[in-house]
């Protein structure tokens, strides 16, 4: 028969009761009845509150540490950032210009003619575009390329404003990526004294005819026509200048070789 009092039903935890051990632990053994199950609920709730408070404290500490780390990193990066270079002419002091000039004068005393010429070559090459380098390479064999200028005529028949200048067949023979920019490339190379303009070359008469049939040239001729009077078309030639030939020889490593 059951020994439980009337009116009370056994619970699953009625068979377990905490017992102190020598290791300051609590051991639950069968037959030991917990008299106040609400204590366990309070204990669990207390543990939850402690864990929650610890989690919130840890999260706050982690956030503070992250902010401190980012602030320190930003300060170090700002300290390592190079100072802004002075701009010309507003913030460039006279002392800086004078220092640069003295440095150049000192270098001029230490360098010879070959060193100075190498600097000129590097200065020129640094300003070239890939298509411009193709033009130099195409003319490096000593050949010339036809070039034309298209100019409008005034009512008196005198040539006036240019409609198209420095249009050369070199844009196609050199297989440029942007042949429509040939006049721009040619003008830039002329300014650098890498190429030079010469008179019409009778030896390449057929190439002048090909250039005259170019769409860019034909459009300029139509635009500059005044009724039956066509615009003036000046023929010229394009070849490497002496500086351009020396530059090419130095670039391919045959400078000074005959």
Q: Which is it for strands 195-198 and 232-240: parallel, antiparallel or unpaired?
A: antiparallel
Low-confidence ranges of the chain (pLDDT < 70): 1-66, 70, 73-74, 76-94, 155-159, 255-258
| Strand 145-153, strand 26-30: pairing | unpaired
Do 168 and 180 form a contact (C-beta atoms < 8 A)?
no
Q: In the prediction, which pLDDT does 221 show?
A: 93
**For the structural domain made of 120-251, what CATH number should be given?**
3.30.110.190
Q: How far apart are CA 210 and CA 215, in angstroms?
A: 10
- The bridge status of strand 159-168 relative to strand 195-198 is unpaired
* Distance in angstroms (rounded) separating the CA atoms of residues 187 and 177: 17
| Model pLDDT, residue 1 | 47
Q: What is the pLDDT of residues 42-98, one digit of tens each?
A: 656 665 665 566 556 665 655 666 677 767 766 766 666 555 555 555 555 667 888
Place of tokens 């064999």: 141
* Alpha-carbon span 182 to 190, nearest angstrom: 12
Looking at the chain, list the stretches that DSSP marks H as alpha helix, in order from N- to C-terminal side: 37-80, 94-110, 113-125, 130-139, 170-173, 182-191, 205-212, 215-224, 242-251
Domain ranges of the chain: 12-75, 120-251
> pTM above the 0.75 mark?
no
* Phi (first) and psi of residue 171, to 5 degrees: -60, -30
């Amino acid at each position: 028969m059951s020994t439980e009092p009337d009116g009370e039903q056994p619970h699953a935890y009625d068979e377990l009761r905490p017992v102190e051990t020598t290791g300051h632990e609590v051991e639950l053994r069968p037959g030991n009845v917990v008299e106040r199950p609400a204590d366990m609920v309070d204990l669990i709730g207390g543990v939850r509150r402690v864990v929650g408070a610890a989690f919130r404290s840890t999260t706050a500490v982690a956030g503070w540490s992250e902010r401190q780390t980012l602030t320190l990193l930003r300060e170090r990066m700002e300290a390592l950032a190079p100072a802004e270079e002075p701009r010309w002419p507003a913030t460039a002091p006279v002392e800086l210009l004078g220092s640069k000039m003295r440095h150049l004068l000192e270098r001029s005393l230490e360098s010879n003619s070959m060193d100075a010429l190498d600097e000129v070559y590097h200065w020129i090459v640094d300003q070239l575009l890939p298509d411009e380098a193709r033009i130099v390479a195409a003319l490096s064999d000593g050949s010339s390329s036809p070039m034309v200028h298209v100019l409008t005529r005034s009512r008196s028949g005198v040539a006036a404003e240019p409609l198209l200048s420095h249009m050369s067949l070199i844009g196609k023979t050199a297989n440029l990526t942007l042949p429509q920019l040939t006049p721009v490339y040619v003008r830039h190379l002329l300014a650098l004294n890498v190429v030079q303009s010469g008179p019409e070359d009778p030896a390449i008469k057929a190439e002048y005819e090909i250039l005259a049939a170019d769409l860019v040239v034909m459009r300029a001729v139509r635009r500059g026509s005044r009724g039956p009077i066509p615009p003036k078309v000046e023929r010229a030639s394009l070849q490497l200048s002496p500086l351009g030939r020396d530059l090419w020889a130095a670039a391919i490593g045959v400078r000074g070789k005959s």
